[in-house]
Structure 1
Amino acid sequence: MLLRTRIILIVLATVAVVSALLLVVADLRRGAGEARLRELELERLEAAWDLAVAEAAGRIQRPLGAVLTDDALAGALERSDRSFLWALMRPAEADGRTRLNVFGSNGELLYGTGNDVEPRPLVGRAQIDQLLAGDVAPRGPRATEDGTIVMIGSLPVYSKGRIVGALVSGRPLSLALDALHRIAGGRIFAVDRNGNPIYGQADPLWPAVRPLAGTTRSLTGFSQDGRHFTLTAVPIADLTGGRVATLLLAAEVTEAVTKRRLWDAVYGGGIALIVIGALALLYIFLRRHFEALETAVDALHDLSKGGAARYVELPSGNDEIGRIAGAVTVFDGAVREIERSAGQRERRLRRQQRFIRRQMEQLASTLEDDARQALLDELNQIESAAQNPQSAQSKGVNDELGLIALGFSRLATRVSMQQVQLTGLVRDLREALEDKRRLISLQQELEIARTMQLSILPQDFPDLPELDLCARMMPAKEVGGDFYDFFFINERKLALTIADVSGKGIPAAFFMLITRTMLRAIAGGTPSPGPAETMRRLNNLLAAENEQMMFVTVFYGEIDLDTGVFTYCNAGHNPPYRVAETGAVEALPNTQGIALATFPDLPYGEKSVTLAAGDVVVMFTDGVSEAFDAAGVMYGEQRLIDTLADGPLPTSRAGLDRMMDSVATFATGAEQSDDITGLVLHWHAPAAAPATALAAAEAQA
């Protein structure tokens, strides 16, 4: 294949690859943009649905508010007077589309829509308990037992400052879907969880939408009558958390699709024109210049056969072809000069032979013993071959100098290999020394960080007549993500906390320090916000700037030194154990709330227990219950319960030592996989005469 043809093929392949890469990059960027737009459209529909649910719930609750103003309703609920409730509630269902439930303070259904002897409630027992507790007023879609889907709105009934019952109202789902149509625009459809249409089937677009009506969160495209649409599908959840229906929003995008196709055609056509133009220019240029080059190559071919070149008309100049023409003239003169100097070359070769032999022997003496002996053996074989013309010809050389040159080449190869090995060893040694220096520096810095972290955690525990405390942290690495803390909120209330940050090492330690600092700042406010509100504020602050997507589980409590009431909030942490003086062990009841820094504006609950004299509260992180032995068996919380129940715990230090020693004995021979932290409180009893506990602790410090 001619050089000209190879160059054209190489350039063609290069241009094709570059063009393909440009198209791929453009397609990837467009795909990423479309994926982001799809996600934004899904989020827009979900946000619009939340607004529609809120609007529909408000419309349902407004009539209920009118009923709540009737004082007779509260009296009927306290008496469980079903007949009075029937007479009072029946007019509210006059439109035939409203379904009502009235519940007593114990969650009993006192009135329900319909004539059934046992009317069916619109919501489950869990939602009723939340409503009667004053926590959450259930609202949203609900699939009833008869297969219909209704929108739920509810309100508690108060009498003399307490909840004596609850009203729950249900209206057709179309109430929320109409609101969604006003908020989101477009063409709204809805199907139940079996794929049956429940809204929008009268729309002319429904026959095209129905085959695409899936049950998952998605955004697809379709066409009808020459127009292009996008179909956004978002599942909606029942009050119990299950999927009850799927929302579908169809939006016309015909203009955008037309513009995108036009841009694709222009972009592809432009690349094709550039490629064709570049190849045409290259072909014309090569064809004009390679004609003179082929003439020069023919002249060189004649010289390569040992004869003088025939007369040719070659161009002159400073480009490659002009240089080749000059070289042809020089080579022609050189051939003639070589023929005259053949005899002189023979004499020079003999002198060079002796010199090369001496140089090879001197170089061989610088090698290692094995390499030097191997090289000398090769030189002996070369000298023997030089004495035998047939052997020399079998090696592809025609004179003694060629054989010696072969030996010299082998010698140079061995010297070069040895030099490369030595250079590599020196480089590896330098790199190893530099790595060792960096490792020592890093170990020193990590040890300083470990010392600083442990010094931040409180080490001096208050000596109070009401209780005694003891805590300890054992990080899995040089620094860890666990922490404990205690501090006085006021003179008679002590705050206790233990937490576990996701991950280990330096990032977890920094997040731990931030969490501890924010917790002290929030809880120490005046007045104290309480455990649940403290966790809610702390969660919002941590989630606001959490770019690394870290989270922290926290158990936070406040104990009243005058009463022994321990009020706490558990944000996704291991529940502490309460060990009675009798040896009985039980976990503190959990509260509402998940780990902090995951999502903002999450609700958190709190609970209270009254400690008896001799009670011990053991708080710990998952490094205790999830410790592993050498065989890979987990320590487990049952083993911890058995350890705490094994004999009395006279002091908090005794409880902490027993737990830590049990874990250490169990995990003997296995590497510590997580930070281990414990905080133990031993409650004595309220002091006979309340003293200033905070002042006593400060005096001790």
Structure 2
Amino acid sequence: MEQTITPPLEWVQTICDQFTEITGWPLRFTPAKPGERKSLEAELCQSEKYCWYESIEDGNRCLGYLYLSLPEETANDHLFVTAIKFAELVGSLVSRIETMSSSLETKNKEVSTLVDVGLSVTKQEALQDSLQKLLEAALQLTGFRAAGFFLLNSESNQLSLRVQYCLTAFEIPFHRRKLSESPPDLEAFAKEGMIINRQDTPELAHWLPQGCLTGICVSVQSDSGPFGTLWAFDRRARHLNERDIHVLKSIGAQVSTILERAVLIKESQNQLRLKKELKVISESFPAEFAEESTQDREFQIAVQSISHHEVGGDLCEFISLGPHVTCFALGDASGDSIPAAVVMASVRGALRTLTEGPIEQAKDTRFVIGRINTALYHTSLPHQFMSMMYGVIDTQNRTFTYTNAGHPAPFWVHKGKITSLTSHGMLLGVTESNEYDYSVIPICTNDIVVGFSDGISEAMSSERKMFRSDGIMNVLKNHTEDTAEEVMLGIWTKLQKHLEGGNDGDDRTLMVLKFARCTEQ
């Protein structure tokens, strides 16, 4: 018999030579080429030259045969039983070594493939390409012939085929399916995986592509929730083991990783876009009041306003209506951040529109507040509203007219005495039409009006105490002779000291008016 020794098994022939030298019984090994196993085994069985043979396996296939020939010297015949037992031991050891070597080679190949895939999909490649590589790796590691990934839409609870390998989308049945109507996918989410065999489970065979006898489905999910299911198909009838499921679960974990990364990248892009847009919006609503040229105005203004977020709902607006007449609005929209800013912007726009009309109309504080209330009621959601004080300063007639719609009552310092101004009605936007009143107070030189949002009065210290209106009054008592800027800074400094280590979770606006001619800068 012609012997052909393949390089990976040369060490077996060396063992055979050593066995022959020690025992005197010729031990040989012949590899089994594909398709030659039956003929080789038949020759070993029928020929009288061979007194024993045994196949060498690696756990998956037959590698060849070990066989004993009769010794040339009859003196060794008495070792027949010993030689056979020794040969059986050698054959068993060789098969075990080859099985371990094959297993190690397979594991190394799997690890190498997974590492290569992991390195490739972590690069900034298109999502579709990354998923394609993962499906290709799944087939390499498991021996399946085709694969597909179904993405789960959590809102519609529907699975959609997003990427496939070695099959077209139309060859895979139900490429759009409701999760609740797909038993294999539901089973995959509930357990390690779902195996479908066309012969063993004919009731599920319609979930397999035409011509495929075996299919397996595993879930793809992460700590943040399910992403979908991974399917693999084969035209052969296969009996799958835990390794196949483990490999597909590993590939599924890689799929969830790149999907999470894609979601994070998308979220990061959205956050960057939102941040840019908020910056543009915030520039339209400056945090600090920008004074116009006021050298001939007979009152001083000092405003400090901060938003807890990029944009907020506090409003402080001054508009000149004509010589000696200026109106202003001080308000606070419900909520915070963008929702509050939208409400505030609506009110600001309505205010600008109304004050550009006839001056007598703009000077009617009840009319302006009433119109803004109706506009806000029709343009905002039921839970959105705004407190607001609208006032008109007439330095020629020395009057201050105002209507307060649910805003914290400002303080009025008149001839050294501190009092609270009146409130005239409920918040803006709560009901379609409200009856608002107004008040008119005389203004004298050195009179002061201090307005603020509830972010000032309700500012919480580390000891859970609010700043309240007392905090403002305590400062006012000692600053009645100061400029508007000095009064504002005195109150703000006191507020910041109160807040040390405390809560800073609200928009805050502080406005100080002093009826005294502005000094030249």
TM-score band by shorter chain is 0.5 to 0.7
C-alpha distance in 1, partners of 2:484/2:54?
Answer: 101
Contact 2:455/2:508 (<8 A) preserved: yes
CA deviation digits over 1:164-203, x for unaligned, max 9? xxxxxxxxxxxxxxxxxxxxxxxxxxxxxxxxxxxxxxxx
Report the AA paired with residue 441 of structure 1: R
C-alpha distance in 1, partners of 2:374/2:256?
Answer: 56
The partner residue of 1:659 within 487, 491, 494 is 491
C-alpha distance in 2, partners of 1:478/1:430?
Answer: 26
In the TM superposition, residue 634 of structure 1 has moved relative to its aligned partner by 1.8
Within a 5 Å distance, the mapping from 1:360-379 to structure 2 comes to 360-366=103-109
- What does residue 488 of structure 1 align with? 320
Report the AA paired with residue 489 of structure 1: L
- What does residue 588 of structure 1 align with? 421
Report the AA paired with residue 496 of structure 1: F
In the TM superposition, residue 620 of structure 1 has moved relative to its aligned partner by 0.9
The partner residue of 2:460 within 612, 620, 628 is 628
C-alpha distance in 2, partners of 1:367/1:649?
Answer: 83
In the TM superposition, residue 443 of structure 1 has moved relative to its aligned partner by 2.0
Closer/same/farther in 2, CA of residues 436 and 488 from structure 1, 3 Å limit: closer
CA deviation digits over 1:427-450, x for unaligned, max 9? 434433333333223222222221
- What does residue 236 of structure 2 align with? none
| Paired residue secondary structure (1:442) | helix
Within a 5 Å distance, the mapping from 1:464-475 to structure 2 comes to 464-475=296-307
In the TM superposition, residue 474 of structure 1 has moved relative to its aligned partner by 0.7
C-alpha distance in 1, partners of 2:261/2:378?
Answer: 48
In the TM superposition, residue 349 of structure 1 has moved relative to its aligned partner by 7.7
* 2:255 maps to 1:512: no
In the TM superposition, residue 548 of structure 1 has moved relative to its aligned partner by 4.8
- Listed as ranges, the gaps of 5+ residues in structure 1 are 1-340, 370-407, 688-696
The partner residue of 1:449 within 275, 281, 288 is 281
CA deviation digits over 1:600-650, x for unaligned, max 9? 231111111112221111111111101112343222111221122233452
* 2:293 maps to 1:550: no
- What does residue 570 of structure 1 align with? 404
Contact 1:538/1:596 (<8 A) preserved: yes
* 2:394 maps to 1:560: yes
In the TM superposition, residue 563 of structure 1 has moved relative to its aligned partner by 3.3
- What does residue 357 of structure 2 align with? 525
Contact 1:461/1:470 (<8 A) preserved: no
Q: Which has the higher helix share?
A: 1
TM-score, length basis structure 2: 0.52
Contact 1:461/1:468 (<8 A) preserved: no
C-alpha distance in 2, partners of 1:637/1:491?
Answer: 34
Q: Which has the higher strand share?
A: 2
% identity of equivalent residues: 21
C-alpha distance in 2, partners of 1:594/1:424?
Answer: 53
The partner residue of 1:537 within 371, 378, 394 is 371
- What does residue 497 of structure 1 align with? 329
C-alpha distance in 2, partners of 1:574/1:658?
Answer: 20
- What does residue 681 of structure 1 align with? 513
Report the AA paired with residue 460 of structure 1: E
Report the AA paired with residue 559 of structure 1: I
In the TM superposition, residue 552 of structure 1 has moved relative to its aligned partner by 1.3
In the TM superposition, residue 544 of structure 1 has moved relative to its aligned partner by 3.2
| Paired residue secondary structure (2:360) | coil
- What does residue 429 of structure 2 align with? 597
Report the AA paired with residue 482 of structure 2: P
Report the AA paired with residue 418 of structure 2: V
- What does residue 359 of structure 1 align with? 102
How much is the aligned-residue C-alpha RMSD, in angstroms? 3.7
In the TM superposition, residue 677 of structure 1 has moved relative to its aligned partner by 1.0
| Paired residue secondary structure (2:400) | strand
- What does residue 93 of structure 2 align with? none
Count of aligned pairs: 309
- What does residue 638 of structure 1 align with? 470
CA deviation digits over 1:126-146, x for unaligned, max 9? xxxxxxxxxxxxxxxxxxxxx
Report the AA paired with residue 105 of structure 2: Q
Report the AA paired with residue 398 of structure 2: G
- What does residue 231 of structure 2 align with? none
CA deviation digits over 1:295-327, x for unaligned, max 9? xxxxxxxxxxxxxxxxxxxxxxxxxxxxxxxxx
Report the AA paired with residue 598 of structure 1: V
C-alpha distance in 2, partners of 1:601/1:648?
Answer: 39
C-alpha distance in 2, partners of 1:611/1:527?
Answer: 21
Report the AA paired with residue 565 of structure 1: T
In the TM superposition, residue 482 of structure 1 has moved relative to its aligned partner by 0.9
| Paired residue secondary structure (1:634) | coil
In the TM superposition, residue 410 of structure 1 has moved relative to its aligned partner by 5.9
Contact 1:461/1:469 (<8 A) preserved: no
| Paired residue secondary structure (1:528) | helix
CA deviation digits over 1:14-39, x for unaligned, max 9? xxxxxxxxxxxxxxxxxxxxxxxxxx
Contact 1:364/1:411 (<8 A) preserved: no
- What does residue 326 of structure 1 align with? none
In the TM superposition, residue 539 of structure 1 has moved relative to its aligned partner by 1.8
| Paired residue secondary structure (1:365) | helix
C-alpha distance in 1, partners of 2:435/2:258?
Answer: 63
Closer/same/farther in 2, CA of residues 684 and 411 from structure 1, 3 Å limit: closer
Contact 1:502/1:551 (<8 A) preserved: yes
- Listed as ranges, the gaps of 5+ residues in structure 2 are 1-38, 46-52, 64-97, 113-239
| Paired residue secondary structure (2:286) | helix
C-alpha distance in 2, partners of 1:472/1:455?
Answer: 7
Within a 5 Å distance, the mapping from 1:84-163 to structure 2 comes to none
